[in-house]
Amino acid sequence: MPYAPEPYVSAHDPAVPAPTPRGRRRIPRPFLLLAALASAAALTTTACSGPGGVELGTDWEGSSTFALAEVDGLVTVVGIDPAEPGAQSLAVVPQQADDDDSVSPHIVRLADGRWMLSVPRTNGKPDRRYLVNREDHTLDGMTGDERLRRTLPGRTLVAEVAGLPGADGKSSVLVKNPADWTTERELEVPGTIGLAASDPASDVVCVAAGNTVSTADLTTGKVTPVPVPKGLTVDQLACPAGHPVVVGAPASAASGRVAVSLTRQAAVTTVSVTGARADAVAARGSSIVVAAAKGDDTELIEVDAHSGKELRRATVRGMAASLALTPTSAGWLLYAEDSVTRVDLATGKTKRFDLPGTLLDS
C-alpha cells in the first residue's frame, strides 16, 4: 500500500529556494556517473513556462515511465508516453547550493509503483530524495541519511548500493524497509560495484565489481559469488527473478554479423555478443533482449532465456550508442542521449521521438 513518508515536504513549498541555472560539465555515465544539478518548482494544471524558462507539460496520466534530463541547465523529471509516443518535462527538481554537480541524480520505480529520485550533495552530505506525486503533480520531499547510493527495488525490501568502496576496499549494500525507510542490515561486497541490477519480483539483487559477479539476498543477508567464464568481459548485467544475467564480449570475439549466444547454468546465465558492443540488456518473461551497437546503428536482439534461440531482431538506424533499455506494454524503449526510440520487435518497426533535454537517468 502506498504511504506518505515522514516528514513530508513538498517541492512547491515556498521555503524551497528558487533555482539558479549554472554551467555543468558532461562526464561518462556507466554507474552513478554524469553531471547533475537541479532547480525548484512544481507543475500547474496547464502547460506553462517553469523555473528557468523550462516549458512544463501536463501529460501526467499518459506518462507510464519517467526519466531525468537536463533541460536549459536544470534537471527535470520527464514523463514518457510510449503509446503516443512522446516525452515532456513535468517538474523541475529542487536545487540547493550544496548539490554535487559531478554525480548524476537517479530515478527508480519501486515495487509498489511509486517513483523515487535522489540528488547527490557535496561534502559527504546525504542525498536529497523525492517521491513523484502523480496525483498532485509535485515532487514530495522525503528523509534520507545516505550518500551516493543507487536504489535497487526488490519485492519487499530495497537495496541501496554504494558507488564507492570504503577504506577496506569493500562496497556496502544497505537493505532498507520501504515502509519506513529504516535500515534492516548492511552487506559487504569486495571491490567497487560498477554494475547492479534487480527485479521487483525478487528480494535477491545482482552486483558486479569488475568481472566478479555476486548475488545478495536481502532477506537473509547472504552474498554469493557466481562463476563467470574466463575471458569474458562483463559489460552489462540483469537480474530477472534474482538470477544473474551477465553480458559481454569474449576475448576471441570476431567482427561480422552481430550475433548473440547464450549459456544458461544454475547460478548464472552468460550472454556473449560478437560483432558489436553490448550497450544494454533487459529481461522480461522468458526472454532476454540485448541492445548491441555497431557503427551508426543498434541491433535489438531478443533470445529465449533458456535455449538461447534468437526470437526477434530489429535495427535502429542512426543510433550509435544506447544508454538504457526499458520494456513497456507499447514496445521496448531504447534511450539515446537526447532521444528515445520505441521498438516493436514483433514487426521490426521503430519510432523515434525527442527528449526535452539531455538524458541523465532512466
pLDDT given at position 134: 95
The alpha helices in the chain, defined as continuous H runs, are: none
CB 231 within 8 A of CB 222: no
DSSP state, 189?
E
Whose cell is 521555503? That residue is 15
Which candidate, 251, 173, 159, 261, places its Cα nearest to that of 209?
A: 173
pTM of the model: 0.84
Which candidate, 242, 239, 244, 307, places its Cα nearest to that of 270?
A: 244
CB 39 within 8 A of CB 50: no
Polymer length of the chain: 362
| Separation of alpha carbons 94 and 109, rounded Å | 19
pLDDT given at position 148: 78
| Separation of alpha carbons 72 and 262, rounded Å | 43
DSSP codes of every residue in 303-335 = EETTT--EEEEEEETT-S--SEEEEETTEEEEE
- 187: which 3 cell numbers? 552487506
3-state DSSP assignment of residue 211: coil
Whose cell is 541501496? That residue is 160
pLDDT given at position 24: 38
Contacts for 127 with CB less than 8 Å, ≥ 6 apart: 118, 119, 120, 121, 144, 146, 147, 148, 149
CB 287 within 8 A of CB 271: no
DSSP codes of every residue in 4-42 = --SS-EETT-TTSPPP----------SSS-S--------
| Separation of alpha carbons 339 and 360, rounded Å | 12
Number of Cβ within 10 Å of residue 13's Cβ equals: 14
| Separation of alpha carbons 347 and 330, rounded Å | 12
- 102: which 3 cell numbers? 559531478
Number of Cβ within 10 Å of residue 125's Cβ equals: 15
Helix (H) or strand (E) run with residue 336 in it:
none
pLDDT given at position 18: 36
Which candidate, 128, 122, 108, places its Cα nearest to that of 67?
A: 108
Do the bridges between strand 245-250 and strand 269-274 make them parallel or antiparallel, or are there none, so unpaired? parallel
pLDDT mean by block of 10 residues, the chain; 362 residues? 31 36 35 32 43 85 96 95 96 91 92 94 91 95 83 97 78 93 93 94 96 96 93 94 94 76 95 95 95 96 97 97 96 97 97 97 95
Which candidate, 66, 9, 70, 60, places its Cα nearest to that of 39?
A: 70
Q: How far lies 72's CA from each of 19, 20, 49, 59, 269, in Å?
A: 12, 11, 12, 20, 42
